[in-house]
Structure 1
Amino acid sequence: MNIGKTEFILLLVVGILTIINVLTADGEKRTFHSPKKKNINHLTLYDCVSPEVQNSINETGRVTNFF
């Protein structure tokens, strides 16, 4: 079985493409401006909001690529 390189990496969902596919970013390799398409069946979803991301959106209306 070939395990992907992104296993156990926390990703931020930055967009929803379809009922199955989302766009994700990690802030380093995959930034907000170049997200990776992921199948939600291959992700473990957590019901949480990053305070840093929430503050950035509230203050500037956007997210920067640096944490």
Structure 2
Amino acid sequence: MPGVVGVTTLMTGSMNVYVTAAAPDKQTITDIAYRLDEVGLSIDREHLIWKQESDPYTGFQFEGND
């Protein structure tokens, strides 16, 4: 589905699917939410994240790797 960049499904319970979507504006996020509803996912909570950054973990250093 366009705009969806990640899906996490927990093994048990309700509210067990977490969908991460990226969009340039609020209207596009709303459109994605409607499409998720159309495929049968009920949105119980919504969190809007302004900015997210991640870096690779470099804590594992092996001998001989510089």
TM-score normalised by the chain length of structure 2: 0.22
Based on CA coordinates, which of the two structures has the bigger radius of gyration? Answer: 2
TM-score normalised by the chain length of structure 1: 0.22
Which has the larger strand fraction? 1
